Structure 1
């Protein structure tokens, strides 16, 4: 894989003109059904070995063996796209423990095959000044390397604490770059609850994100946390799994896109409650994820678009 590796001096502040459009990576990755099964297990699938709905994602000899669509978020870690933000000539030096995943959107154009050879092209779309830090908006296009077909687009928003303040006050961005999603003030139409295990992050990291923030207490402390926290994308995947199970009759092809904002950390061992609401159209589900023990919303601004016709319970 080719990355831009020219020698350059790191700036003292973010230089947007050197960031926008910067190519982070253009390379290839292969995966097998072992990787897709490990991902499903990392989300807590098949904790009940008699749950035949989960066996669809964890047992390769199932008649309907398939892949949870949010598996597609892993390509950014199988290829070190996000960590390559540090190499951008317009980004100053920063401690990797101060990098947080702020928000994410995944759009699917085809079903994810159980094994594949992919080409991933990623770039920085833009960098926003949030005052206390910078929001680096990345876009990753994933293609079938053999046919050239576009499979997915990932759009992570990476928040780097401590490198904000690079724009005049009147050009700073307040809050998120996306409008807030108004969750209805009523009981959810669908609910999916998942109790995470105390070792959930230790297992999930084997899917590709080896950030020590999620396993090393000392590194978590550097990041400002009392103990290692769960990967935001694990929560994201649990939400997607819940939507597919509860709304799409466990049909992975029912999910067309999913997005959300990581609003508070989750400690492994806590329970997650995915609260889903019917949107203004049959294709739209609004959702949020609540940490049961604290009552806090840990994933907000959730929107899922569904493919129809489907077996969706709408």
Structure 2
């Protein structure tokens, strides 16, 4: 890892034209419209009165998998998506011109053989009005890049889940072809489509995108707590724990806490947690 190069990485400003087709395709990638007669879900996949899923912010103004650039010095094959944070300032548009401005926030050196954590964020801006729509932040765990002499800085404190029975349970079934749909929203990593690639890195078959599982969390919160009022979901944070295989049922355990929500997601069939320390904030 080239610490100096990474710390001062000059991201190109991303300009994107968002269409209603993009908005609908993102929602379909999360399984919205599973019941095409459900008008509340239909609102996210039908152009008449179309609404944007709030978690769509994570794919807007996206700079791509820039850690593959040799100039970073990062062993990109060993990079894992650790955490995701989202703050929404205004309801997302269903179409328009978007600008994404990314930056490195800091890099935490966990030590030789222990890896490093790269924290980055992105402002999502409406190009026409200049309004800030959202702030997206994430951590990337570079397993092969610790011990460069940097500071071991802690990241944001994860949400604590209540020590009680969940207030709500929401099961969402994913389709066997879910990843093949979701990848059309921009993440074309063959890990999510090619069985040979998936097996080469230790998976039985292609896995679902982590950000698709994240989007399922938004869907579960909208369905369970907000009656699909997308304008009320203004924040969504998670820690990634394990991958989901397309076709699996994801179970969300949700707690209502002080006007917010805490949650985790698991795969009952495998008894594994896939999202942990989840937090949702409401307007």
Q: Same fold (TM over 0.5)?
A: yes
Which moved further from structure 2: 144-153 or 156-165?
156-165
What is the rounded CA distance, in whole Å, between the counterparts of 2:61 and 2:240 in structure 1? 17
Q: Deviations over 1:118-176 (max 9, x none)?
A: 111111111222344322111101111011110011001122332223237xx446xx7
Name the residue aligned to 1:252. Answer: 230
Between the aligned partners of 1:88 and 1:97, the Cα distance in structure 2 is 12
TM-score, structure 2 as length reference: 0.93
The question of whether the paired residues in 1 share the 8 Å contact of 2:67 and 2:74 is answered with: no
Contact 1:97 1:223 in 2 (8 A): no
> Does 2:103 correspond to 1:123?
yes
Could you tell me which of 52, 55, 69 is aligned with 1:70? 55
Unaligned runs of 5+ in 2: none
2:277 aligns to what? 301
Query: 1:198·1:268 contact (CA, 8 Å) conserved in 2?
Result: yes
Deviation at 1:54, TM superposition (A): 0.7
Q: 2:115 aligns with which of 127, 133, 149?
A: 133
- Between the aligned partners of 2:244 and 2:52, the Cα distance in structure 1 is 25
Query: 2:79, 2:201 → 1: CA distance?
Result: 8
CA distance in 1, matches of 2:108, 2:202: 23
Deviation at 1:191, TM superposition (A): 2.1
RMSD over aligned Cα atoms:
1.9
Provide the rounded CA distance (Å) in 1 between the counterparts of 2:61 and 2:249.
26
Tell me how many residue pairs correspond in the alignment: 281
Rounded Cα–Cα distance in structure 2 between residues aligned with 1:219 and 1:35: 27
